[in-house]
Amino acid sequence: MAEFFQFLVSGLTVGAVYALVALGFTLIYNASDVVNFAQGEFVMLGGMVTVFAHAAGVPLPLAAILAIVVAVIVGISLYWLAIAPARGASAVSLIIITIGASIFLRGVAQVVFDKQFHKLPSFSGDTPVQMMGAAVQPQSFWVIGGAATVVLLLYLFLERTLVGKAVLATSANRLAAKLVGINTATIMALSFGGSAAIGGIAGVLVTPITLTSYDVGTLLALKGFAAAMLGGMGNPFGALAGGLLLGLLEAFGAGLSQLHLQGRVRLHRHPRRAVRGAAGPVRRRAVERV
Amino acid sequence: MPRWVRHRYASLVVLAVVIALLPLLFPSSYYYRVAALVWVSALAAIGLNILMGKAGQVSLGHAGFFGIGAYAVAIGPTHLGVPPLASLLIGAVLSAALAYLVGRPILRLKGHYLAIATLGLGVLVALVITTEIRWTGGPDGMPVKKLVVFGWRASGADTWYWITAGMLLIGTWLALNLDDTPTGRAFRALHDSEIAARVAGVHVDRFKLQAFVIAAVYASLAGSALALMNGFVNPDQAGFLHSVEMVTMVVLGGLGSVIGSIVGAAVLIMLPQALTVFQEYEHLLLGFLIIVSMIFMRDGIVPMLAKLPGRRA
C-alpha cells in the first residue's frame, strides 16, 4: 500500500509536468495547426533562466517570474520570426521549422548558459512529508498544485474573458474568426506566448526535482507530444488526462518491473537515460491507444 | 530546359559523375569519410522519401530500422558466428518483417497519430537495444567486426567511399524507376487523396505497407553499411533524434524528390562538419539555417531550384 502510494505520488508529479507540456502543445496546435517541437525548450528556458538568475543573486520568486517572462518573449518571437513568415507552408515544413527552432534555442542556451546539469533549491525545504506510509517530497506538492493552478487559470481565461473566447474562436474556425473581426495573427502570437508561459512554469516547478540542462527539452517535448496524442490532439482536457496517465504509467511501469527499477535507481545520475528506460511500457500503451 | 535534363536517368548520370570525380578534390581521407557518411545517410533518406514524399505517410521512428540494420551486422558475426554479409541480409529481412507486422495495424492511422505510432516503434527498438546489454553492449554500444568477402577485407575510408557510393547508386536507380511503375503511380495516387485512390481501385492498405517495408529495408541497409564502415555501433543510431534528422533531410531536400534526399543528406551531414569552426555556436547556426531554408524554400531545396529556370522563361 505504501509502495502504491509512493508510485502514485511520483507518477502524478511527473504526469503534471507532462500535462503542462502537452497543454502547451494543444494551445498552439488549436490556434495555428502547428505541432511545436520547440515546446520542450520553453521548459528548459524556465529552469535554466531561474537557475542562473538565482545564482546571480536574484531572489527565487523574482527569478522564476523573470524566467517565465523570458520564455514568453521567446515564444512570441518564435511565432513572428519563424512561423508567421512561413504561413501557407505544409504541415511537415512547419514542423521542421519548429525542430530547427528547438536546435537553435538549445544552441543559444549552450552559449548563454553552459552544458552542466543545474539544480534549484526546493521551494519549501527537502524534509519529506510522511503520507500513507510514503515519503513525499514537498516539491511534489508545488508541482501538482502549480499545474492545477495553471489549468484552472487557463480555463478561466478561455471561458471568461473576451480574449480567451477569441482564442477559442480562432481554433474553432480561423476564417470565421477573421470575419467577425478577430485579429487571428495576434491571437496566434498570443497562444505561442501563453504556451511558452505554461512551459516556463513547468520548468521552474520541476527543476528542483529533476535538475535541468540545456538539452532537457528534447525528451520533454517527446513526452509532452506523446501525452497530447494519448489524450487526443487538440483537446485541453485530453492533454491533461494524457499527461497524468503517461506519468502514472511510467511510475508504475518502472516500479513494478525489475528491469526498469534499475533504471529508476540511476535516475539521479543519468536523468535522460533513466527516463528513456522508463518509457517502455508507456510507448507500447500509446501505440495500442491510437 | 534541354530535353536530356528531363530524362529519368539524367540525375542518376549526374550523380555517378559527381561520385566519380569527387575524390579528385579530396586532400585527405577525412573527406572520403564524410562523403561516405553522406552516401549512407542519403540511402536511408531516399527510402524514407519513398514513404513520405511518394506515398505521403509520415514516420518519426525510422532510425529504429536503421538501428536494426546496424546491430544485425554487429551481433551476427560477434555472438552468432554469422558472416557479415549474411548478417546484413538478415537485418534487412528482420526490418522488413517488423515493418510488415507493425505496419499492418499502424498504417491505418493518419497524420499526427501515425507520427506518434511510428515514433513509439522507434523508441521501442532503441529501448531494446539499450537494455539488452548482454547482446548489444547497452548504452555504450559495441564494436563491429570488419567486413570480409571471400578473403578480401573492406577497410579504409576510400574503400567504403566506393562501396557506399555503389549502394547509393543502386538505391537511387531503384527509387527513380519507381515513378513509372504501377506501384509508383499507386503511391502518388494515395498521397494525393486516399479516398480517390481507393475509389479508383488502388489497394490502399497494401501499397502503404509496401512503401513502409521498402523504406524500412533502405534504412536497414544504410544502418548496416554505416556500422561496418565505422566498426562500431551505439544506440543513438536508433534514437529519436536520428529519426528526426532523417525526416529533416527528406523535407529539407524536397519531399518526393529522390535527388532532393541526397542533397538534404549532404547538407545535414556536411553543415555540422563545416560549422565546427564556430565551435559552441554550431547548434545555434544549424538551427538558424534550418529555419531560414524552410521559410524561403518551403518545398525543399531541389524542387525550389527546379522551378527557377521555368520562372525566368
Helices marked H in chain B:
3-6, 10-21, 29-49, 63-75, 84-106, 111-131, 133-136, 157-178, 182-192, 194-199, 204-230, 240-253, 258-275, 282-296, 301-312
Q: Cα–Cα distance between A147 and A151 in angstroms, integer?
A: 6
- Which residues 205-244 of A are in CB contact (within 8 Å) with B? 218, 222, 225-226, 229, 233
Radius of gyration for chain B, computed over Cα atoms and rounded to the nearest angstrom = 19
Q: Please answer yes or no on whether A111 and B123 come within 8 Å at the CB atom.
A: no
Look at chain B and report how many structural domains it folds into.
1
B14, B168 in Cβ contact below 8 A? no
Radius of gyration for chain A, computed over Cα atoms and rounded to the nearest angstrom = 19
Digit-coded pLDDT (tens) for B192-202: 888 888 888 88
**pLDDT under 50 in chain A at which residues?**
258-290
Nearest by CB: B112 against A101, A233, A276: A233
- Least Cα distance to A102 among A52, A44, A175, A157 occurs for A44
pLDDT reported for residue A204: 93
Q: Cα–Cα distance between A55 and B70 in angstroms, integer?
A: 44
The pTM score is: 0.81
Position with higher pLDDT, B286 vs B247:
B247
Q: Is B249 on the interface with A (CB under 8 A)?
A: no
Residues 6+ apart with CB under 8 A from B186: B197, B202, B203, B207
Q: Cα–Cα distance between A160 and B106 in angstroms, integer?
A: 40
Instruction: Specify if B220 maps to a domain.
Output: yes
pLDDT reported for residue B101: 93
Q: Is A258 on the interface with B (CB under 8 A)?
A: no
Query: Between A and B, how many residue pairs show a Cβ–Cβ distance under 8 A?
Result: 120
Q: Is A78 on the interface with B (CB under 8 A)?
A: no
Q: Is A262 on the interface with B (CB under 8 A)?
A: no
Q: Is B251 on the interface with A (CB under 8 A)?
A: yes
User: Residue B168: pLDDT band by 50, 70, 90 thresholds?
Assistant: very high
pLDDT reported for residue A272: 37
DSSP state of A1: -
pLDDT reported for residue A51: 92
Q: Please answer yes or no on whether B252 and A105 come within 8 Å at the CB atom.
A: no
Which architecture does CATH list for A2-249? Orthogonal Bundle (1.10)
User: Residue B310: pLDDT band by 50, 70, 90 thresholds?
Assistant: low
pLDDT reported for residue B3: 59
Q: What is the interface pTM, i.e. ipTM, of the complex?
A: 0.78
Query: Is A131 in a helix, a strand, or coil?
Result: strand
Provide the residue ranges of all domains of chain A, joining segments of one domain with +. Answer: 2-249
Digit-coded pLDDT (tens) for B87-109: 999 999 999 999 999 998 888 88
Q: Which contacts (CB < 8 Å, 24+ apart) does range A265-273 have?
A: A271/A117, A271/A210, A271/A211, A271/A216, A272/A215, A272/A216, A272/A219, A273/B130, A273/B139
A286, B126 in Cβ contact below 8 A? no
Digit-coded pLDDT (tens) for B21-65: 888 888 888 888 899 999 999 999 999 999 998 888 888 889 999
B47, B171 in Cβ contact below 8 A? yes
Grid cell digits, residue B297: 524554400
Instruction: Specify if B281 maps to a domain.
Output: no
Residues 6+ apart with CB under 8 A from A120: A47, A50, A51, A54, A60, A204, A207, A208, A212
A239, A228 in Cβ contact below 8 A? yes
Q: Please answer yes or no on whether B113 and A290 come within 8 Å at the CB atom.
A: yes
Helices marked H in A56-183:
60-77, 91-112, 138-160, 162-172, 174-179
Q: Please answer yes or no on whether A93 and B294 come within 8 Å at the CB atom.
A: yes
- Which residues 35-64 of A are in CB contact (within 8 Å) with B? 35, 37
Q: Please answer yes or no on whether B130 and A277 come within 8 Å at the CB atom.
A: yes
- Which residues 89-148 of A are in CB contact (within 8 Å) with B? 89-93, 96-97, 99-108, 110-111
- Chain B positions in Cβ-Cβ contact with residue A281 (cut-off 8 Å): none
pLDDT reported for residue A190: 92
Instruction: Specify if B34 maps to a domain.
Output: yes
Digit-coded pLDDT (tens) for B216-272: 999 999 999 999 998 889 888 888 888 988 998 998 888 888 899 999 999 989 888
User: Residue B277: pLDDT band by 50, 70, 90 thresholds?
Assistant: confident
The secondary element (H helix, E strand) that includes residue A7 is: helix A2-32
- Chain B positions in Cβ-Cβ contact with residue A283 (cut-off 8 Å): 120, 123-124, 127
User: Residue B306: pLDDT band by 50, 70, 90 thresholds?
Assistant: confident
Which residue of chain A comes nearest to B235, CA vs CA? Answer: A273
Instruction: Specify if B12 maps to a domain.
Output: no
- Least Cα distance to A149 among A240, A234, A62 occurs for A240
Instruction: Specify if B49 maps to a domain.
Output: yes
Most confident range (mean pLDDT) of B116-120, B228-232, B276-280 is: B228-232
Q: Please answer yes or no on whether B120 and A287 come within 8 Å at the CB atom.
A: yes
pLDDT reported for residue B89: 94
- Chain A positions in Cβ-Cβ contact with residue B294 (cut-off 8 Å): 86, 89, 93, 96-97, 100
The mean predicted confidence, pLDDT, of chain B is 86
